[in-house]
A and B are shown apart, each in its own frame.
Chain A
Amino acid sequence: MLRTRLLIGLLGVVVGVYGAYLWLSRQEGPQITSAAKWLVAGPILHDLVLSMAVILVVAVASRVVPDPARAPLAVGAIVLGSVSLIAVPMLGRYGEKPDNPTLLDRDYTTGWLVVAGLVLLGVLVATVVRARRSSGSSSDTP
């Protein structure tokens, strides 16, 4: 088992080093520095900004949100949060080109509002159902 793992690990190192060689050998200095900045910025933005923001939001939400809404809200936040992150380039229209109306040719803001509305509706319905179920079960018990 250990030998197999060592071999797999070695294969991974070879593949990774080949990639690093491709990256560093086929472009000029400024291009490499630009990519290096992005490589480092990703984990920093994730680990120190996004993760901390999530921890903060969860800490606040766990004190404020009533019990029946907690699970539905968690589901809604994960779905809407991750999909909104994906939608950032479209919502910002950063790649828009005046000569090409076929690119980014939707009303993304309305689209996002629709998605957010549907998620909110789902959260509300699930919360009401859970609240009723829990109050029903508690009144059943003598």
Chain B
Amino acid sequence: MTSTRLSDRFAATVATAQKAVPKEEDFTSRLRSPAIAARVGLWLGISFTVCFLTGLLSHYAQNPTQPVPFPTSPSWGYRVTQGLHVISGTVAIPLLLVKLWSVLPKFFSRPPLRELRALAVWVLEKASIGVLVGASIFMLASGLLNTAQWYPWEFSFRTTHYALAWVTIGSLVVHIAVKLPIIRDVLLADVDDTTHDRPTAVRPGALSRRGLLRTTWLAAGVAFLATAGSTVPLLRKISVFAVRTGEGPQGIPINRSAVVADIRDSDVGADWSLQLISSEAIRSWDRSSLAALTQREEKLPIACVEGWSATGTWTGVRLRDLLDLAGVPRGSDLQMVSIQRRGGYGTTVLPANFADDDRTLIALQLNGSDLDIDHGYPARLIAPNRPGVLQTKWLTRIEVL
């Protein structure tokens, strides 16, 4: 076989492959149009922005060191922002699916092989879109799986979800910068305007463009109703796919059980005590002496990073009262230490503004009865506007930093 015949064969193979793979022109639906992409993209951009900002806030709230202290008010603040984070990410899924559908022909655009400059631009744009699509799907999928506590991967969810949020937003900003003239034109024009359509995108679909847009909003609305009950009490009965009904021991769901944290009977028996350690002194209370101190009642939400939340009525000792008994000055940061043997966040920093807030309790009871072992018996921290993972359960030690 001669080399010319080989190259002929190669060319023929390439030609066959090119025929088998659809080309941009092969997509003829007039619904696959920038008019749809820009309109759905606008709402997708808004939902990604909400996710990004509320995510940054949540990440900051969990930081052990905070140059500007996270505020303690409103007590329901974190409940709202983290609920919004998860809701916004969930409703973005139908939006992303329709958005990607509307621009799918672009995936099959052929590189301009003859012109080097045009080829470079083509490669750069493809790369930036690749990063945007990959990161967007990653963020929505990993976030969704995290709400259902399904972790079929080896990476750290928090670190990776946080880092790739920056990648997603960065590539989204690049994408907007590239497309800005088309976005502006298309959004200012009528939805049926065809100025920016591909020449072959003329075949009417089963739906009109308005119909497809309304269907997209409907799908996002149904996604909201079907999941938001994890955090919106009014929707609890409607949200058939909510990861939590809001029920649990003493009327509140739990995230980490005593079994998983490896809490043993001997840990929480008569020998249990709560120690307060400062540079001057060590004070210690057993459960009955804590119960003998002035008891306060606070209605505070427990709001998890995974987006579910529920309000409970907590009874116990005001943390500031304990600190006063030990002579700990206002403005002291604390470290809360749990008995737990397994899982993260066994030791967390409680910034001074939380320690000094009147609503912050060392809770002994929830909704009228002694804490369930899964809610942190003998005593737990409950503070306003604090991520649930930092509301230390099975407290054993408070250290003044």
Residues of A within 8 A of B (CB): 1, 5-6, 8-9, 11-20, 22-23, 26-27, 30-32, 34-35, 38-40, 42-43, 46-47, 51, 54, 62, 70-71, 73-75, 78-79, 81-83, 85-87, 89-90, 92, 94-95, 97, 99-106, 108, 110-112, 114-115
Contact = CB atoms under 8 A, between A and B. Distances in A.
A34 B156 CA distance: 10
B170 A17 contact: yes
A102 B252 CA distance: 8
B148 A15 contact: no
B178 A9 contact: yes
A70 to B, nearest CB: 4
Given A14-B170, A102-B254, A5 B240 contact: no
A15 B134 contact: no
B94 A83 contact: yes
Interface in B96-126: 97-98, 100-101, 104, 107
B337 interface: no
B222 A40 contact: no
Contact of B166 (A16, A92, A94): A16
B102 to A, nearest CB: 11
Contacts, number: 228
A71 B166 CA distance: 39
A38 B153 contact: yes
B177 A86 contact: no
Given A34-B154, A39-B135, A79-B215, 10 more contacts: A6-B177, A19-B167, A23-B163, A34-B153, A47-B104, A71-B206, A78-B212, A87-B226, A104-B243, A106-B242
A12 B219 contact: no
B47 interface: no
Contacts of A30: 154
Nearest to B240: A111
A10 B247 CA distance: 48
5 contacts: A35-B138, A38-B138, A70-B206, A78-B94, A102-B248
B107 A47 contact: yes
Contacts of B166: 15-16, 18-20, 22
Contact of A32 (B131, B155, B173, B248): B155
A103 B244 contact: yes
B144 interface: yes
B173 A106 contact: no
A1 B183 CA distance: 14
B12 interface: no
Contact of B155 (A35, A54, A70, A102): A35
Interface string B224-259: 001100000000000011111101110001111101
Nearest to B98: A78
B159 interface: yes
B297 to A, nearest CB: 23
B90 interface: yes
Contacts of A18: 166, 170
Contacts of A105: 244-245, 247, 253
B215 A94 contact: no
B244 A42 contact: no
B76 to A, nearest CB: 21
Contacts of B174: 9, 12-13, 16
B247 A86 contact: no
Given A83-B219, A106-B245, A74 B137 contact: no
Interface string B154-187: 1110011011111111111111111011000000
Contacts of A94: 148, 150, 152
Contacts of A101: 248
B154 A31 contact: yes
Contacts of B227: 86
Given A27-B160, A34-B155, A82 B173 contact: no
Interface in B194-230: 205-207, 211-212, 215-216, 218-219, 222-223, 226-227
Contacts of B245: 102, 105-106
A15 B145 contact: no
B134 A89 contact: no
Contacts of A97: 149, 257, 260
A82 B169 CA distance: 23
Contacts of B167: 16, 19-20, 23
B328 interface: no
A79 B150 CA distance: 24
A75 B218 contact: yes
